Chains A and B, each alone.
Chain A
Amino acid sequence: MTVLARSSSVALGRLPRPGTVLAGGFVALVVLAAVAPGLLTSDTPTQIDLTNALAPPSWEHPFGTDEAGRDLLTRVIHGTGLSLGIGLGATGVSMALAIVLGAAAALAGGVVDTLITRLLEVTFAFPSLLAALLIVAVFGPSVTTSIVAVGVGSMPGYARMVRGQVLAVKESGYIEAAHALGHRPWRVFRQHLLPNAMRPLVAVVTLGVGQSIVWASSLAFLGLGVPPPSPEWGALLDAGRGYITTSWWLAIMPGLVIVLFAVAVTSLGRTLQQRLEGAAR
């Protein structure tokens, strides 16, 4: 038994798997498109060509063209920055809230913990998209609303995770060992608790960006996100879904990019998670 376990862990080398390389490559491409779209396409996203409207995917237009003959791939590339920004912003909002609530609950314990845990339990009853929709209903659709709505909507899950993580570290043997050596509480917090509790969150944040983009594009798909003339990914979906029975590529292709990005980011996050766990145990 032990022999088996040992040999298989040795076989698991440190070389990244081909899937990880592929995922990393795609994410790098997306980041490049966000920072410098001009490097990937020379066209402008607003170039109208009515003679070539609603053309299906071809070599010239890999994603096809829209009703005004604009090249869809170019639009997707130019929409990347805003989409990624919304994803990062929403993840930032949810992680910030989650860390404050989760860490406070785990560190304070007692009544504070009970209150926060109860509150989180309540927020769990509001499905992410519905909570986001409630916020959009109150404040009206916009980029900021999307960020806040998606961030708040996905906060409870992260908060619970942060609380569990901090609690696990707080009750770990090495924290007790540090106390038993007579270290000051602040030093134990700074040297052991904080870094060990926050480390797994790196992977969680990676996973979160993918999820945030999916939720934000879902809002847009319903016509409640960034409004259409924008080439933001969700807005492209919203604009394209009206043509779904006739020109399927208009919604399917931007959707495919979101799917690939979500899959790539998820796979990177999971790899990171395994690495971190492997290093910790």
Chain B
Amino acid sequence: MSTAAPAPAARLRRIAGKLLSAVLVLLVAASITFFVQLLLPGDRATVILNIRNGRDQQWPAEEIAAINHQFGFDRPLIVQYLDYLAGLLRGDLGTSYTEFRPVTAVIGAQLLPTVVLTVGALVVAWLIAVTVTLLTVRRGRILGGIGAAFEAFTASLPHYWVGMLLLVAFAVQIPIFPVIGGDTPAGTVLPVLTLAVPLSGFLGQVLREEFHKVLDQPFITTARTRGMSDAAVRLRHALRHAVLPGITLSGWALGALVSGSVIAESIYGRPGIGQVLVTAVNNRDVPTVAGIVLVVAAVYIVANVLVDLAYTLVDPRLRIS
């Protein structure tokens, strides 16, 4: 039971293990995106020519052959697969069917605005959730009920609805913010809120439930018997315990935020990978879609490793096991 401080070697091994499994997950994710591209119904070269020319017809053999050669479809599948993986290592996500240039170039500059949007939303959501919970949990039936109802309602709101509502309210009816804001600071406020409001409801529910559990724990009673005030008990003891499950969920939430950013970017005409993605899906530009999905998966995996490490900072118990 009484162990000394955990050996740093064990901690390093744990982190190394996490990274290794992250790389494996990424490899499988890449394989999935590769094979999904093969599912495209019909001959791929024909599909590409149809997409590029906006027609639906049979194409002469030499044009088909040219496309097959250009994209390497004439090579054996396994070679294509290994080539794809090797390309990934060099940072090559393949070639767009429609834009005649590498997918990385298509995505490139669009990544940063989306990262700003999602991270901003995550921070704002946490701020809202912690504030609402701290102010309302166990503050009597009415206040607690209002807090819980607010969270339950906002948590079920679809992103597009929040987005349109904010747009109509604060850009059209009361024009505080621009309707199409690009990636300017003023234009970022409404998209961030669009993503943050539903997430804050979700995090708030988790936080509230945990707070309820924690406030019933004997160590909270112990703190009170030492003469601590209610506010101090909440901030110094309860909060730290209550945020733990929320932190784990934040990794998951990043995924939901990326989904939401596709919608928010579409509503506010904000540059970002969401915009590129919707255009690509409309054009059935599968390599671009697959490339974006893979990049998001990679970001998600890295973010979850980070969340994992953040968790051990807040909860030292995990450093041992």
**Taking the complex as a whole, does A directly touch B, i.e. does some CB pair lie under 8 Å apart?**
yes
A residues near B, CB below 8 A?
A: 118-119, 121-122, 124-131, 133-140, 210, 214, 217-218, 221-224, 237, 241, 244-245, 248, 251-252, 255-256, 258-259, 262-263, 266-267, 270
Q: Which of B220-265 contact A (CB under 8 A)?
A: 252, 255-256, 258-260, 262-263
When A and B form their complex, which 5 residue pairs have the shortest distance between CB atoms, in order from nearest?
Answer: A129-B259, A127-B255, A125-B297, A255-B161, A137-B289
Interface centre among B155, B260, B282 (most CB of A within 10 A): B282
Of all chain A residues, the one with the shortest Cβ separation from B301 is A125
Of all chain A residues, the one with the shortest Cβ separation from B256 is A127
Q: Does B179 contact A (CB under 8 A)?
A: yes
Which chain B residues border A259 with CB–CB below 8 Å? 156-158, 161
Known pairs A221-B160, A252-B165; A138 contacts B40 (CB<8 A): yes
* B313 CB to nearest chain A CB (Å): 23
B: number of interface residues (CB 8 Å): 54
| Residue pair B293, A131 in contact (C-beta under 8 Å) | yes
Of all chain B residues, the one with the shortest Cβ separation from A234 is B160
Which chain A residues border B25 with CB–CB below 8 Å? 118, 121-122, 125
Q: Does B186 contact A (CB under 8 A)?
A: no
Interface centre among A130, A244, A270 (most CB of B within 10 A): A130
| Residue pair A122, B32 in contact (C-beta under 8 Å) | yes
Of all chain B residues, the one with the shortest Cβ separation from A266 is B156
Q: Which of B2-10, B85-93, B273-281 contacts A (4 or more CB under 8 A)?
A: B273-281
Of all chain B residues, the one with the shortest Cβ separation from A256 is B161
| Residue pair B160, A134 in contact (C-beta under 8 Å) | no
Cα separation A224 to B259 with both chains bound (whole Å): 14
Cα separation A281 to B267 with both chains bound (whole Å): 46
B residues near A, CB below 8 A?
A: 24-26, 28-29, 32-33, 36-37, 39-41, 152-153, 155-161, 164-165, 167-168, 172, 179, 252, 255-256, 258-260, 262-263, 266-267, 277-278, 280-282, 284-286, 289-290, 292-293, 296-298, 300-301
A-B contacts, 7 listed (Cβ < 8 Å): A125-B296, A127-B255, A128-B255, A128-B259, A130-B296, A267-B152, A270-B152
Which chain A residues border B282 with CB–CB below 8 Å? 223-224
Which chain A residues border B28 with CB–CB below 8 Å? 118-119, 122
| Residue pair B172, A248 in contact (C-beta under 8 Å) | yes
Of all chain A residues, the one with the shortest Cβ separation from B160 is A221
| Residue pair B284, A137 in contact (C-beta under 8 Å) | yes
Known pairs A118-B28, A119-B28; A222 contacts B296 (CB<8 A): no
Known pairs A140-B284, A244-B167; A134 contacts B293 (CB<8 A): yes
| Residue pair A133, B300 in contact (C-beta under 8 Å) | no
Q: Which of B168, B278, B300 contacts A223 (CB 8 A)?
A: B278
Cα separation A258 to B23 with both chains bound (whole Å): 39
Which chain A residues border B179 with CB–CB below 8 Å? 245
Cα separation A118 to B31 with both chains bound (whole Å): 14
* B64 CB to nearest chain A CB (Å): 20
